[in-house]
């Protein structure tokens, strides 16, 4: 039986992408006061960002429960499928630990590998999608795991924020706190380094910040797949995609929305660029028509 791929909703993989690649997404939780919502299930993106900007209650987030993972693992292993479950960096969330506990609770006879991606958003998402393609090619568990490791090493993410306000409120500031003394009227540029959010520069204007993101793409080698992730600026994301298609005409460029779990910490105006370099373990023509259908999402 094929290896099944599981991830969490911080990957920002759209429902359409997940369905096409047979990826199961376990939602994290977003809370406004005492009310909890499953990311992407009980609360939509538009409603979430409206409440984030206009509401008086700051949202908080929490990982899926071990029971959530156990239920997914039991269902997927009913047909004796092995599972590779790939999750947001353990330095940013307790999701990885919850998945490990869920594996023990599931009591499945099939093999379940739980992976700490060391990343998030479409840094996690692109690597998970590449791993799902390897699984769909018929690779067994060992081969999929080798592909996961290569995909994670080949995937990078950079982003520009309008403000650090929401990171501060959510306690996810990490190494970005080094910027706090110099953030008067500048836009911080971030990456994921060693599993944590880390500053990689700053720009005086948003336009210059976006240019810095494009520069990171231009300095990479053999880019095979990209994703633009926005929280509240769909027109900007679409315009950037058209621009990048002119510079990278043979590449796959997806557009995704920053989900509530990460949006609670990034806030409005977040723009990420994620890219995956070519992998030896993945026949890149398997991206093919399926990714072409998804590239505008």
What mean pLDDT comes out for the span 1-16? 95
Q: What is the CATH number of domain 4-153?
A: 3.40.50.10170
Calculate helix-pair angle for 95-106, 66-76, nearest 10 degrees. 50
Yes or no: say if 295 and 227 are a contact pair by the CB < 8 Å rule: no
Q: Which CATH architecture has domain 155-294?
A: 2-Layer Sandwich (3.30)
Element (H, E) at 297: none
The pLDDT mean for the chain works out to 88
What mean pLDDT comes out for the span 262-284? 87
Q: What is the pLDDT of residue 169?
A: 67
pLDDT tens digits for range 137-192: 999 999 999 999 999 999 999 999 987 777 776 555 554 554 554 455 678 899 99
- Position 295 pLDDT exceeds 80: no
Best-predicted range by mean pLDDT (70-79, 259-268, 279-288): 70-79
Q: Provide φ and ψ at 216, rounded to 5°.
A: -65, -40
Element (H, E) at 132: helix 121-136
- Please tell me the pTM assigned to this model: 0.90
What mean pLDDT comes out for the span 42-47? 93
Q: What is the pLDDT of residue 297?
A: 34
Q: List the domain boundaries for the chain.
A: 4-153, 155-294
What mean pLDDT comes out for the span 263-282? 90
Q: Give Cβ neighbours of residue 72 (< 8 Å, ≥ 6 apart).
A: 6, 24, 26, 102
Q: Report d(CA 287, CA 42) in Å as an integer.
A: 31
């Amino acid at each position: 039986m094929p290896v099944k791929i599981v991830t969490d909703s911080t990957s920002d993989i759209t429902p359409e992408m997940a369905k096409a690649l047979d990826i199961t997404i376990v939602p994290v939780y977003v809370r406004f006061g005492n009310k909890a919502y499953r990311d992407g299930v009980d609360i939509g993106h538009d409603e979430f960002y409206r409440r984030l900007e206009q509401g008086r209650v700051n949202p908080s987030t929490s990982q899926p429960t071990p029971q959530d993972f156990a239920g997914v693992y039991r269902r997927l292993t009913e047909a004796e499928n092995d599972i590779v479950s790939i999750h947001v960096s353990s330095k940013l969330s307790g999701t990885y630990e919850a998945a490990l506990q869920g594996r023990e609770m599931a009591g499945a006879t099939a093999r379940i590998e739980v992976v700490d991606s060391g990343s998030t958003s479409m840094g996690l998402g692109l690597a998970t999608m590449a791993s799902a393609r390897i699984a769909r090619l018929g690779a067994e568990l060992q081969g999929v795991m080798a592909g996961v490791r290569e995909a994670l090493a080949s995937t990078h993410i950079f982003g520009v924020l309008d403000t650090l306000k929401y990171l501060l409120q959510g306690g996810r500031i990490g190494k970005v706190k080094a910027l706090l003394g110099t953030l008067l009227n500048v836009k911080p540029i971030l990456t994921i380094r060693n599993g944590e959010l880390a500053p990689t520069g700053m720009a005086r204007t948003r336009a210059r910040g976006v240019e810095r993101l494009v520069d990171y793409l231009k300095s990479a080698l053999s880019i095979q797949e990209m994703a633009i992730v926005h929280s509240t600026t769909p027109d900007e994301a679409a315009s950037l995609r058209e621009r990048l298609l002119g510079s990278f005409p043979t590449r796959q460029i997806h557009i995704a929305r920053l989900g509530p779990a990460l949006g609670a910490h990034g806030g409005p105006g977040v723009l990420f660029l994620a890219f995956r370099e070519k992998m030896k373990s993945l026949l890149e023509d398997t991206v093919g028509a399926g990714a072409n259908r998804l590239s505008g999402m």
